[in-house]
Amino acid sequence: MTPPAAETAFGTFFLPGPTEVRPVVRQAMSGRMISHRGAEFRALYARLQQGLRVVFGTSRPVFVATSSATGLMEAAIRNAPPGRVLALVNGGFSERFANISVACGRAVDRYEVSWGAVHDAGEVTARVRAGGHTVVSVVHSETSTGALNDVRAISDAAHAAGAVCVIDSVSGIRGAELRFDDWGLDYVFTGSQKALAIPPGLAFAVASGRFLAAGEHDRRGIYFDLAEFETNAERDETPNTPALSLYYALDVQLESVLTEGMAAAWARHAAMCARTGDWAARLQRDTGLAVAPLVAPGHRSPTVTAILTPPGVTPRAVVRGVAERGYTIGGGYGKLKDSTVRIGHMGDHTLEGLDGCLDACGEVLRALGR
């Protein structure tokens, strides 16, 4: 389950995004400038499309935006069919999705569950039918909590009630199974700095033909008009100036991604999630400390785990102590800031590298717990 190009010393930066980037990928960013309207760029774009389509499990064009993933989150709403939005909220980033819908002038209803829980597909169908919603927004892997929604079931539930489903898979893609075409999805987006393991600055999305045809035409704006992305993709170009250096990084990284294969990547991420849960259970058993993943088994994201810290132990102290041992992990997010730390086990991380991080976390929690 080791990525084919992983360095032996790789693996000390375990933020839940941005994740660690291999030196060879960073070095690729020093490539020379070329015209983004020339034949050389079009060849690069076409090559990237081949790899990205494998990653998303699609034969559709994969749109590449020079932005953070929030840009293509807004695009989801601006390009979606007119009508009410049902926003599925279970953490900080699904909350952002809901807020963006409001900022784009949509009427929004929220189906909220506790942070760390997941949404019920049957409830989605019932709420869409009762509320007449045309759009359902959902986060696949909620980075603030480490919860994994069953987006295939939720998408099917939205379709059963006549709505489209727009999916944030920012910390999901490559780490958690997603098959755009086979699952009949409408719109999925992600960012470059999570499990794809290149630096921040690019966002990627796939939209079905049905979704594009049904979309809002007078609210799409300019920069994130998906019809323009589609038109330009047909000639292997982008609708606006691309971040060329990041394209070079992606080109190198996709070689490794394709060599490993998607099934192997999903299995490796699942193994890292399981290892983190086993570590927390063992630490609690051995020390009596109230240390546990926030999310219940069966609903945990394979890319990020939020760990509840024991009473009297602050997440800030844990993060600081782990840093002193050479590892970087994340603090809690939003209303979980004072009760959790987050370990991002995504991208090119391995079980061996993760074990070192977990050992450091265990040492710190034992010391602080005393």
pLDDT, tens digit, 9 for 90 and up, residues 285-294: 999 999 999 9
For residue 116, give the DSSP letter: T
Strands 187-191 and 203-207 come out as antiparallel
pLDDT at position 218: 82
Say if residue 151's pLDDT is above 80.
Answer: yes
pTM of the model: 0.96
Domain boundary assignment for the chain: 23-260, 262-369
How far from 111 is each of 6, 73, 119, CA to CA, in Å? 41, 18, 8
Categorize the per-residue pLDDT at 219 as very low, low, confident or very high, splitting at 50, 70 and 90.
confident
Mean pLDDT of the chain: 96
Q: Is the pLDDT of residue 5 over 50?
A: no
Q: What pLDDT is stored for residue 370 in this prediction?
A: 82
Third-level CATH fold of 23-260:
Aspartate Aminotransferase; domain 2 (3.40.640)
Alpha-carbon distance 69 to 66, whole Å? Answer: 9
Q: Which of 174, 106, 170 is nearest to 140 (CA)?
A: 170
> Binning pLDDT at 50, 70 and 90, where does residue 4 land?
very low
Closest CA to 152 of 124, 129, 126, 191: 124
Lowest mean pLDDT among 28-32, 216-220, 344-348: 216-220
What's the pLDDT at 20?
A: 96
Indicate the pairing of strand 330-331 with strand 63-65.
unpaired
Reference 61, options 193, 204, 240, 206; nearest CA is 206
> Which CATH superfamily, name and number, covers 262-369?
Aspartate Aminotransferase, domain 1 (3.90.1150.10)
Q: Is the pLDDT of residue 3 over 90?
A: no
Farthest CA pair distance, the chain: 63
23-260 and 262-369 in the same fold: no
User: Is 99's pLDDT higher than 90?
Assistant: yes
Beta strands in the chain (DSSP E): 63-65, 84-89, 108-112, 133-139, 141-142, 147-148, 164-168, 187-191, 203-207, 292-293, 304-308, 330-331, 340-344
Residue 8 has pLDDT above 90, yes or no: no
Q: Which is nearest to 154 in space by CA: 114, 130, 189, 183?
A: 183
Closest CA to 257 of 150, 173, 141: 173
The contacts of residue 348 (CB under 8 Å, 6+ apart) are 3, 5, 6, 10, 19, 20, 22, 197, 256
217: confidence class by pLDDT, cuts 50, 70, 90: confident
pLDDT tens sequence across 246-304: 999 999 999 999 999 999 999 999 999 999 999 999 999 999 999 999 999 999 999 99
Quote the pLDDT of residue 7. 44
Mean pLDDT, range 307-313, rounded to an integer: 96
Could you give the 3-state DSSP secondary structure of residue 285? helix
The gap between the terminal CA atoms of the chain, to the nearest Å, is 36
Work out the average pLDDT over 293-321. Answer: 98
